[in-house]
Amino acid sequence: MLKLIKEVLKVGEATLPYPFEPIEQMPGFRGKPHHDPERCIACAACAIACPPNALTITTDFDRGFQTWSLFMGRCIYCGRCEEVCPTGAITLSPDFELAVMNKQDLYERADYKLVSCQICGLYFAPLKEIEYVFELLRQKDMPEEALAGMRSRLETCPECRRKNDVPKVVNLYREEV
């Protein structure tokens, strides 16, 4: 009993004054994901990886934009989005105080323009994603003339590209034969 009293006196007060004082997290704590809309290319890698469907991508093909949205009510702070993001647009912050008065405040969204196909004119991919790929190719030292051709290839939707390419491949084959 004396030992216990000694222990209790030695420890003193263990309870922290939180929330009246901030509480410290360990480094590397996984809190609310922070989204940088400038860096994001709307590639949807995060939405595919997200286990609880907190991150979703919806596409409006008629009006030509793609919406990235995060619903904090579903987020489990696993950080898969951070891990799969090719541009580092999502990072997990140490922020864990997420109570809101209004459910709508738990939603975060960003809209991205889509590119329309040079041939059929239908919207098919986010502009920023295409620019990102183009930039990657430029940095791989692709020659200027090849780059120009690549640009128009990138701005063609997969469907039209297939329609274009199949006859070309067939012709190549015929020439060889």
Partner 1 sequence: MTVLTEEKPKVGKKYIEALRARFGASILDESWQAPDQVTVTVPLNSLPEVVENLYYEQGGWLATVVANDERPLNAQFAIYYVLSVEGTTGPSGDEEKVYVAVRAQIPPHQPEFPSVTPKVPAAIWYEREVRDMFGLQPVGLPDERRLVLPDDWPDQLYPLRKDTMDYRYRPEPTTEDETYEFINVEGEGIVQVPLGPLHMTSDEPGHFRLYVDGEYIVDADYRLFYVHRGMEKLAESRLNYDQVTFLADRICGICGYAHNVAYSTSIERALGIEVPARAQFIRTILLEVERLHSHLLNLGLACHFVGFDTGFMQFFRIREKAMKMAELLTGSRKTYGVNLIGGVRRDILKEQRTTTLQLLKELRDDAGRLVAMFLETPNIVQRTQNIGRLETQVARDYSPVGPTLRGSGFARDIRTIHPYCAYDRVPWTVIAKDGCDILARTLIRAEEFFESVSMVERCLEEMPEGPVLTEGFTYKPYQFALGYVEAPRGEDIHWSMLGDNQKIYRWKCRASSYNNWPSLRYMLRGNTISDAPLIVASIDPCYSCTERVTVVDIRKKKATIVPYKEMERYCIERKDSPLK
Closest distance of CB 136 from partner 1, Å: 22
Closest contact distance (angstroms) between CB of 169 and partner 1 is 28
Contact residues for 68 (Cβ-Cβ < 8 A; gap 6+): 35, 37, 40, 42, 47, 55, 57, 109, 110, 111, 112
* Contact residues for partner 1, defined by CB under 8 A: 3-4, 7-8, 11, 14, 25-30, 49, 51-52, 76-80, 83, 92
CB closer to partner 1 out of 13 and 144 = 13
Rounded Cα gap, residues 177 and 175, in angstroms: 5
Report in angstroms how near the CB of residue 36 gets to partner 1 at its nearest. 20
Residue 115 and residue 158 in contact, taking contact as beta carbons nearer than 8 Å? no
Taking the complex as a whole, the smallest distance from the CB of residue 85 to partner 1 amounts, in Å, to 14
Nearer Cβ to partner 1, position 74 or 161?
Answer: 74
**Cβ closest to partner 1, residue 26 vs residue 177:** 26
Select 71 or 132, whichever has its Cβ closest to partner 1. 71
User: Are β-strands 55-60 and 65-71 bridged in parallel, bridged antiparallel, or unpaired?
Assistant: antiparallel
For residues 45 and 79, the answer to whether their CB atoms sit within 8 Å is no
